[in-house]
Amino acid sequence: MTTESSPPGVATSGGQATWSNRFDQGLNPVIERFNASIGFDLALLQEDLDGSVAHARMLGSRGVISAEEAQRLIEGLETIRAEAAAGAFRPGVEAEDVHFAVERRLTELLGALGKKLHTGRSRNDQVGTDVRLWLRRRIDAIDAALVRFERALLAQAERHVDTLIPGYTHLQRAQPLSLAHHLLAYVAMAQRDRERLADVRRRVNICPLGAAALAGTPVPIDRRQTAAELGFEAIYGNSLDAVSDRDFAVEFMAAASLLMVHLSRLAEEVILWASEEFGFIALTDRCATGSSLMPQKKNPDVPELVRGKSGRVFGHLMGLLTMIKGLPLAYNKDFQEDKEALFDGVRTCLDCLEAMAILFEEGLAFRPQRLEAAVHSDYANATDVADYLVARGVPFREAYQLVGGLVKRCALEGRLLAELTLADWQALHPAFDSDIQAAIAPRQVVAARRSEGGTGFAEVRRQLALAQERLEGEADTPQ
């Protein structure tokens, strides 16, 4: 029954085995392959077995099958789990999907009893259950990866509270910052990602099992028993909604897309910082790559790949929305397309989080001297000159204009504000005094921004401690 050896267009395969006796002929082998999801949905095997074990136990406890039959079904399912672990469960395309593959193997193992497993259940509620179980576990893995990533940022932040970095708006030098403050902004984003995923998880964790094909079942099942055994928090209230809801997949991909946006923005900064022009970081050999031609090159492939991979996840979000938008109730085969999107979206998030964590753990080193030189080489303290005058009674807009003119003159003469004499200052405005230079030194400028959430050193230390506290006791490896 291998399809490869069949001439194209000739119906030869074992399709008959899959469906009811309504079918006389097997599937065209090309169509058989086209229809099958076994090529990718074998990834759901553990969840499919978990769901079937719970279903078999429930059928037994409700007296739909005998307790002894339920026990044998469960043992058969565990045998398949062991076979898979040993690499001995390798269903081919004729099995169509993971659900049929398991049922078929169960029937080989148990004979007629295997055919009782599907009582009161359809593949429609079954696949929905499997995907939710699968995604629930992966959300937990992504959460752990986010914790590790945050910890890597926090460790760098802890080292660099007192390191200054130019702050930018419009990618123009704006005001100097504590480097830790800059890094903590990404910790805040990651924290929101964790919250969003936790919220999505609540709606992933609702059980469709027992909705059967679309309308429920006359079999006296107990949906709450299977849901509880599988760790679901609730069951769907409407059987049509249960088998045709993929909102949770869209919500997940939206949250994953934002997560990737955050990683991509950070990746872009790392790429800029590693350039000769910025020179704010050095890439270590652990995470940098070379050029095949230019011997001097050290390339930031890791953040470039993260930036590049973000597009796949946004694409999956659009793909899912488009796949669902025209579907009448209830199940449609289109839904089979949700899996590769979810699998790839999850894989991409996990890979990128791990790579970015490693990058901040051991892949880069900030260059304090370059950073120090950078914050002393511009007019990013101009606002503070204006603030100095404001503190001495000059209206802000007047001070702003005065300093604007001053910066223009200095730029023409190639002088920094730090190079002005007291006479220069007082020629501009009599309110200037000998403390002006100290007041606009970059370190003082940063220290002075004491407002809550600002870059003042004490405030940054407080924010850092809060972020560390939030992560206390949180697992950073999948449990």
Q: Which residues pair with 283 in a beta bridge?
A: 364
C-alpha 195: how far from chain center? 12
Indicate the DSSP class of residue 42.
Answer: G
Is residue 37 among the annotated active site residues?
no
Catalytic annotation, pick one of 61, 66, 291, 377: 291
What are the E-state strand segments in 251-394? 281-283, 364-366
Backbone torsions φ then ψ of 405, nearest 5 degrees: -65, -40
Closest separation between CB of residue 276 and ligand ARG, Å?
50
Q: Which class for 293: exposed (0-12), middle (13-18), buried (19 or more C-beta within 10 A)?
A: exposed
CB of 453 to ligand ARG, least distance (A): 47
Q: How far is the CB of 133 from ligand ARG (least distance, A)?
A: 14
Q: Minimum Å distance from CB 337 to ligand ARG?
A: 8
Question: Are 153 and 360 in contact, with CB atoms under 8 Å apart?
Answer: yes
* C-alpha neighbours within 13 Å on the C-beta side of residue 55: 28
Interacting residues with ligand ARG (CB under 6 A): 37, 41, 97, 123-124, 127, 331, 333, 335-336
Find the shortest distance in angstroms from Cβ 195 to ligand ARG: 30
CB-nearer residue toward ligand ARG: 103 or 143? 103
User: 478 CB contacts (<8 Å, ≥6 apart)?
Assistant: 140, 141, 144
Which DSSP string corresponds to 363-431? IEEE-HHHHHHHHTSSSTTHHHHHHHHHHTT--HHHHHHHHHHHHHHHHHHT--GGG--HHHHHHH-TT
C-alpha to C-alpha distances, 80 to 17, 38, 418, 466, nearest whole angstrom: 20, 16, 75, 48
Which of 170, 292, 434, 451 is catalytic? The answer is: 170
**Residue among 38 and 403 whose Cβ is closer to ligand ARG:** 38
Using the minimum distance from each CB to ligand ARG, give the nearer residue, 20 or 296.
20
Distance between CA 227 and CA 47 in Å, rounded?
13
Q: How far is the CB of 107 from ligand ARG (least distance, A)?
A: 18
377: annotated active-site residue:
no
Q: Is the CB of 38 or the CB of 139 nearer to ligand ARG?
A: 38
For ligand ARG, the closer CB: 41 or 143: 41
Please identify, using beta-carbon distances, which residue of 336 and 468 lies nearer to ligand ARG: 336
Alpha-carbon torsion, ordered 309, 313, 319, 323, to 10 deg: 150
Q: Which is nearer to ligand ARG, 79 or 332 (CB)?
A: 332
Q: Which amino acid is at 401?
A: Q
Q: How far is the CB of 80 from ligand ARG (least distance, A)?
A: 18
Q: 189 is written with which tokens?
A: 């984003």
- List active site positions: 170, 291
